Amino acid sequence: MVSGVDRENQAMQRAAQLRQELALHNARYYVMDDPLISDAEYDALFAELVKLEQEFPLLATPDSPTQRVGGAPLSAFGSVRHAVPMLSLNNAFDDEDIQAFDKRVRDGLETESPVEYACELKLDGLAVSLRYEGGKFARAATRGDGQTGEDITANIRTIRSIPLTLAGPVPEVLEVRGEVLLFRKDFERLNDAQREAGEKVFINPRNAAAGSLRQLDPRITARRPLRFFAYGWGEIRGSLPGKEARADAPPFDTHMGMLDWLQELGMPVNRERQLVSDAAGLLAFYRRVEGLRAALPYDIDGVVYKVNALEAQRALGFVSRAPRFAVAHKFPAEEATTELLGIEVQVGRTGAITPVARLKPVFVGGVTVTNATLHNEDEIERKDVRIGDTVVVRRAGDVIPEVVTPVLDKRPADARKFVMPSQCPVCGSAIERPEDEIIARCTGGLFCAAQRKQALWHAAQRRALDIEGLGEKLIDQLVERGRVHTLADLYTLNEEELAGMDRMGEKSARNLVESIAATRTPPLGRFLFALGIRHVGESTARDLARHFGNLDAVMNAAEAELLAVPDVGPVVAASIFRFFAEPHNREVVADLLRNGVTPGTETVVDRTAGPIAGKIFVLTGTLPTLAREDAAELIRAAGGKVTGSVSKKTHYVVAGADAGSKLAKAQELGIAVLDEDGLKALLQS
Ligand SMILES: NC(=O)c1ccc[n+]([C@@H]2O[C@H](COP(=O)([O-])OP(=O)(O)OC[C@H]3O[C@@H](n4cnc5c(N)ncnc54)[C@H](O)[C@@H]3O)[C@@H](O)[C@H]2O)c1
Ligand SMILES: [Zn+2]
């Protein structure tokens, strides 16, 4: 059994250790703007110390971090003594904490009736105090240790949304307090620039805002798009002209009234603020903002509730580091640090290879996360993430968790760089990354299980093989049951097994077998399109068919030959060539042929000769016998081009009934206008 004395000794040791750790983290966070651990981890250490000090009150020394605010001001800045201290806020994490807060407030005010609260966002930036004298901006300071802050007047002047002159009559001295922050987009841009310049990146927008504001050179601050929102005030001296207020007190009697007034004076005040009348109202506000959080352009780490009546605030007063009349209701942290155990790659439905971080399980954004996306190879390189690193993981709202950045100070000596594998982990085909692209892909195409569903769906669609009755749900089943591996397997399905699938009757099974059979002789262009070759859309597939005439010729074409096809550039040619160079894809085509699929052939037209070759057509209005798409086909088949709008480059406009502005434009530009007969004559000439 452990004696009471032993326990107290243990507690004392642990408390000393916690204080030392917290002091280190305070310095990293408040002074260097470069924390080593996440806020959630810091909060856990802090809470542990609070608990020990509550159990053993003798441990609560006045220099304990639990009794103090922030960190010491940097001596490089001039110091500013706060006439009214800048405090922190007590934290609440769950509904019970809020009920307890409301009860403490009502007990403190000796009232049974509901208390009115002003609710605000808890902006995740850093607190500053702006001093106006005679309505003019005079000085600005950081919170520092709460009593003394750093003089950041020159830096604050660079923030455009902060007025240098207040709009309206104000007391002689008015200190406005609020949060300086960086929008997420601006943060990302800033980090990109930091990386490019080989400078250290910031862990999150809060630290970036703090680092930007606490610059010894205000020209650097000026280049950072910092923002400001006011949520309070400090010293007030002199009364407000025309308003019967007590001197040295705010010229309003509620918190919300004061905020509205600050806004009228030209101070930015966050619009997401609301009055509620009891604990239930507080919780409803919390829920509402929770839903809003992901859509806000800046980070918040919770909401703040303040007793609205200033008289009641005064009655409740302060504890050492925070007011009794306010509380911060924290959201689950969106960021946490953990260890990056490994990087694996995932294959998407289009063959895109995504590197995924395998993480030591970590609780973030309200769930335990073990995987996070790393997007692509460049991103890993850019962020310099290595296996073995301690990394910051972010999970905001329902967004897929992502690795934000490594914590460089914690990099172990044996951290390894990621190397993109050369083979697809699903099908073993080559992984390739075209030079001008960010995304690496599996070249397995139809053969790759990861891409199968997408590939089948693509092949079945109207514009490809047009397999009626083969829907997405059925494709999922066929692939998941291992019955269909490639497009070729579709042609081996029989009625009986199809009838056995979910939501399939005998009749629909029979119909499907028939409709599959009906697609056994596709035109070559549609067949090529159905193969799902990257960059080969419907019209490129048609051009290929026309240029090469038969399947073999397309499959065996060299890259240079492919480049001879109209509108096929280097990217497309390379993609076609790669597709048919992959043995798995050739196998699938061979299987298709073996299973009775015979794509058609086409007469190869020399589209460089003939009267239409290279000519540009625009079709408008309704032709008497030809559908517009058929007319376009005829033109393309003869080597012409069809575009959508009339310009100086247009050679012919083919106009039918009800032709509108295109015809007018053609006449205006003096372009030859043909009717259907005219077109046919031209084609036959
Ligand atoms: N990761 C680390 O190493 C590390 C170290 C130290 C502190 N921290 C983080 O900082 C927190 C403590 O910092 P703190 O003392 O600044 O307290 P806090 O950030 O939890 O709360 C007080 C602050 O909230 C801000 N605030 C935002 N919106 C507000 C509003 N509407 N009304 C009033 N204030 C508002 C103000 O800047 C105020 O100073 C910890 O909980 C931890 O999350 C992290
Ligand atoms: Zn693959």
At residue 183, the 3 state secondary structure works out as coil
Q: Which residue has the tokens 């010491």?
A: 72
Q: Which residue has the tokens 């966050």?
A: 270
Cα 617 to ligand 2 centre (Å): 42
Whose CA is closest to 188, among 24, 357, 23, 375? 375
Distance 328 CA to ligand 1 centre (A): 9
Output DSSP code: residue 423: B
Ligand nearest to the CA of 421: 2
Q: Are strands 616-620 and 652-655 parallel, antiparallel or unpaired?
A: parallel
**359 CA to centre of ligand 2 in angstroms:** 24
Best probe residue, ligand 1, of 21, 25, 49, 122 (max atoms within 8 Å of C-beta): 122
Per the model's pLDDT, the better-predicted residue between 4 and 542 turns out to be: 542
Name the closest-CA residue to atom 43, ligand 1.
Answer: 39
Q: Of how many residues is the chain composed?
A: 685
Index of the ligand 1 atom closest to the CA of residue 126? 37
pLDDT at 249: 61
pLDDT of residue 243: 59
Sequence-distant (≥ 6) Cβ neighbours of residue 444 within 8 angstroms: 351, 424, 426, 427, 428, 429, 451, 582, 584, 585
Query: Across the beta sheet with 274-276, what order do the strands follow?
Result: 91-92, 326-330, 300-307, 117-123, 274-276
Which ligand 1 atom lies nearest to the CA of residue 35?
3
Burial (0-12, 13-18, 19+ Cβ within 10 Å), 531: buried
Taking Cα atoms as reference points, which of 34, 43, 93, 86 lies closest to residue 65? Answer: 43
Same CATH topology for 4-67 and 79-330: the answer is no
Residue nearest to atom 6 of ligand 1 (CA): 26
Q: Tell me, what's the pLDDT at 574?
A: 92
* Residue 437, pLDDT score: 86
Which residues, other chains included, contact 469 with Cβ-Cβ below 8 Å and sequence gap of 6+? 508, 511, 512, 515
Contact yes or no for 357/377 (Cβ under 8 A): no
CATH architecture, domain 335-410: Beta Barrel (2.40)
Query: How confident is the model over 455-467, as pLDDT tens digits?
Result: 898 899 988 999 9
Ligand 2 mean position to 490 CA, how many Å?
20
C-alpha 552 – ligand 2 centre gap (Å): 24
Say whether 648 is catalytic.
Answer: no
Total Cβ atoms within 10 A of residue 302: 24
CATH of the domain spanning 445-594, picked from 3.40.720.10, 1.10.150.20, 3.40.50.300, 1.10.10.10? 1.10.150.20
Ligand 1 probe mutation, 25, 37, 39, most atoms within 8 A of CB = 39
Q: Nearest bound ligand to CA 454?
A: 2
Pairing status of strand 440-442 against strand 352-364: antiparallel
pLDDT digits (tens, 9 = 90+) for 140-190: 999 999 999 999 999 999 999 999 999 988 999 999 999 999 999 999 999
pLDDT for 636? 81
| Residues facing residue 148 across a β-bridge | 81
Ligand 1 atom index nearest CA of 25? 3
What does DSSP assign to residue 27? I
Handedness of CA 149, 155, 161, 163 (dihedral sign): positive
DSSP state of 30: I
Q: Is 41 annotated as a binding residue?
A: yes
Per-residue b or e along 657-684, where b marks 16 or more CB atoms closer than 10 Å to that residue's CB: eebeebbebbeeeebebbbbeebeebbe
Q: Which of 22, 28, 50, 89 best tests ligand 1's pocket when mutated (most atoms within 8 Å of CB)? A: 89
Name the closest ligand to CA 448. 2
- In this structure, the strands spanning 117-123 and 300-307 are antiparallel
**Residue of 103, 122, 410, 507 marked active site:** 122
Other Cβ atoms closer than 10 A to 349: 14
Residue type for position 444: G
Pair 99, 186: CB distance under 8 Å: no
What's the pTM? 0.67
Q: What is the CATH number of domain 4-67?
A: 1.10.287.610
ipTM, two decimals? 0.95
Quote the CA–CA distance of 580 and 467 in Å, as a whole number.
24
Task: Quickly list DSSP for 207-269.
Answer: HHHHHHHT-SSHHHHHTS--EEEEEEEEEEESPPTTS---TTS-SSSBHHHHHHHHHHTT---
Identify the burial level of 45 via C-beta atoms within 10 angstroms of its C-beta, where 0-12 means exposed, 13-18 middle and 19 or more buried.
middle
Distance CA 627, CA 634 (A): 11
Q: Is 143 annotated as a binding residue?
A: yes
From 79-83, 248-252, 570-574, 592-596, the region with the lowest mean pLDDT: 248-252
The ligand that comes nearest to the alpha carbon of residue 427 is 2
Q: What is the pLDDT of residues 556-577, one digit of tens each?
A: 999 999 998 877 888 899 999 9
Amino acid at 199: E
**What was the pLDDT predicted at 682?**
87
Counting atoms of ligand 1 from 1, which one is nearest the CA of 303? 31
Distance 485 CA to ligand 2 centre (A): 12
Domain chopping of the chain, boundaries: 4-67, 79-330, 335-410, 445-594, 616-684
Q: Distance from the CA of 352 to the center of ligand 2, in angstroms? A: 9
Structure tokens at 434: 């075209």
Check whether 246 has a pLDDT greater than 70.
Answer: no
Protein residue whose Cα sits closest to atom 26 of ligand 1: 122
Tell me the pLDDT band of 476, cut-offs 50, 70 and 90. confident
Residue 316 near residue 307, CB atoms below 8 Å: yes
**Alpha-carbon distance 576 to 609, whole Å?**
26
Q: Which residues contact 156 (CB under 8 A, 6 or more apart)?
A: 128, 130, 137, 140, 162, 180, 213
Q: At what angle do helices 95-109 and 279-292 cross, to 10 degrees?
A: 140
Task: Report whether pLDDT(3) > 80.
Answer: no
Which pLDDT score, from 0 to 100, does residue 565 have? 87
Q: Which two tokens stand for residue 525?
A: 């262009």
Task: Please identify, by atom number, the ligand 1 atom nearest to the C-alpha of residue 29.
Answer: 5
pLDDT for residue 605 is more than 70: no
Can you tell me whether residue 294 is helix, strand or coil? helix
Report which ligand 1 atom has the smallest distance to the Cα of 321.
Answer: 15
pLDDT bracket for residue 244 (50, 70, 90): low
- Per-residue pLDDT, averaged over 429-434, amounts to 91
Instruction: Say whether 658 counts as a known binding-site residue.
Output: no
R_g of the chain, CA atoms, integer Å: 35
Cα 239-171-305 angle, rounded to 5 deg? 90
Question: pLDDT value at position 566?
Answer: 78
Q: Domain spanning 616-684: which superfamily?
A: BRCT domain (3.40.50.10190)
| Residue ranges lining ligand 1, Cβ < 6 Å | 25-26, 28-29, 35, 37-39, 42-43, 69-70, 88-89, 91, 120, 122-123, 126-127, 143, 179, 231-232, 304, 328
Task: Give dist(CA 223, CA 207) in Å, integer.
Answer: 16
Atom from ligand 1 closest to the CA of residue 71: 6
Q: Is 179 annotated as a binding residue?
A: yes
What distance in angstroms lies between residue 631's CA and the mean position of ligand 1's atoms? Answer: 69
Q: Is 89 annotated as a binding residue?
A: yes
Q: Is 120 flagged in the annotation as binding?
A: yes
Alpha-carbon gap, residue 165 to 322, rounded angstroms: 31
Neighbours of ion ligand 2 (CB under 5 A): 424, 426-427, 429, 442, 444, 448
Flag whether 665 is marked binding.
no
Q: Is 442 annotated as a binding residue?
A: no
Q: Is the pLDDT of residue 284 over 70?
A: yes
| Domain at 79-330: CATH code | 3.30.470.30
Nearest ligand, CA of residue 426? Answer: 2
Location of structure tokens 């240790």? 145
Residue 15 banded pLDDT, cuts 50, 70, 90: very high
